Structure 1
Amino acid sequence: MRARAYQIPSEVYRELEAQILEQLRDGDLVQLRHLLGDHDLEIELLSGEWRVMMYELSDYYQVIDLQRRLARMVVGPDELADFVDALRDPGRLERWRPISFGLADLADALPAGTDLVGLVITEEADDWLWAEPVYEIVAIRPEVFALLEPHMRALLLSGDHAALARLAEDHAEGCVEFSPEQWRVLLRHTRERAPELMSVFEAKLAGPKDYVTIREALELVADPRFQPSLDAWLRVHASIAEYALYFRDASLERREFDGSGLHQLPTRSTQPLRIIPPEERAGSVGEQLAVTGKTLPLVPVGGDRSDEGSSGS
């Protein structure tokens, strides 16, 4: 789940402040964004950026609810100067550098030492939940994982596997994707050739300190006949760094949304239509129609149009 930061002129913010704060606590995202329609700057913050920023700058008004997937924050014009100073702190900027994309833009864009604007941050719309989940092994650089680990483990404990996958992929160094069949084969080969690796698959998240051991175990099951992508990644990229790894199980994300309406077309078993043989088809007008108990012949609605024409004349 990403977030959006909106810079709002101070006169607009002060006029709408009471409504913004009310909607921030309990309001619908669409209504809240309607209030923010007069913004003069909008910046996207990746999943890890807003989490790290809000955690470290918790003195500002925030509404964070992992279960409801809410991530909201407001900085009034009177607070903006201190907020910008905190955001541009050299030590903090250096510490955040491994995950900074939108954060760097936000720090540069906000005016310093002034009360001319206010800032409102909201979570993104839930469109991202429509993406089909996939099976993956996601590699995350150690300096990135050091910033994101507490947030990733919090999502893992809460069971929000979709948000965890979004967070991991937003800040990944690389991903190896598997088809459902490849994932089943990978698990089977792991049980047969490297059973100690099964506990890692079940834990979902492994830190850099275990990387070398995990990589050696993966090399035992990366048969290029079945896992060409994993084999190529291990040969070309795996030695670049000692990564943290996230083992993404798509079935957990699908299970989360069973019955929620997010999957528009559930998988159904279908059968081809039966072709009606000539002897069972409808005959000419007045002819007795064959009824076998298996099919219902087509009867034209309203009878023969030619009769209507002749009677009308």
Structure 2
Amino acid sequence: MLPFTPDLSETAAVEPFFDAATNTVTYVVADPKTGACAVIDSVLDIDYAAGRISSDSADRVIAFVREKGLRVEWIIETHVHADHLSAAPYIQQHLGGKLGIGARIIEVQDVFGKIFNEGTEFQRDGSQFDRLFEDGDSYTIGGLTAHVMHTPGHTPACMTHVIGDAAFVGDTLFMPDGGSARADFPGGDARALYRSIMRVLSLPDAVRLFICHDYGPNGRAIAWETTVGEERRANIHVGEGMDEEAFVALREARDRTLAMPRLILPSLQVNMRAGQVPKDKDGRPMLKVPLNAF
């Protein structure tokens, strides 16, 4: 079921950065022995109503990396986010590193390239990224080995990155009391999501899971770290042996009640371009608002 065997003897140092405006957690994942690191799921700030972009969230990450004397080797996107803008090119400009995402980004680019009427000048081949990961691929962060699992369902391009004893699941899973991510975006699929979650939960119980979003259900404090064992036991959508048919029924019913994310329109336009803000014919940063597109 797994295309690799995780090495739990490798311990990744993980530093989280929570962005309250989008409920997103960015991670700096470091090899303690070499100082090499990766930045996972970075955030670029936007005041949508004012039409202004800023970099406060990314600057916190940059300051931490510099303060600790770390060396960025990778900037990872677990998927094309629909709820926040990526700061990947901004961080790359300041700290270096290669930008990676799942290879099925090309499907996402094709779908949303049409929705936003991007024309032939928008490349739909993933060439905006430095590395397109396939299921079972691996890469290194200093002396740490990172393994990549294709975990579609929320989007076609979702990937889980297993780095030593830690796994970064993007939006595939939330904390146990948060359940799972929606599966109703174009290319999403509740059945595929269930099977992806089962792959994640086939990792050893002790693997630490790091979540991309948390909303503090029922008023609890924000949290972002759990374990495979805890998710398998207590996740409200898949724990305690929830079967596929029951999950699909639950997920699809819940998705019908959800509104679109507040930042979906700017996020998709930016993130399918690897974090680059689109420009009009005169070179000015410009976003589109397609009507009745979803």
Q: Name the one with the larger strand percent.
A: 2
Higher helix share: 1
TM-score by length of 2: 0.23
Output the TM-score relative to the length of structure 1: 0.22
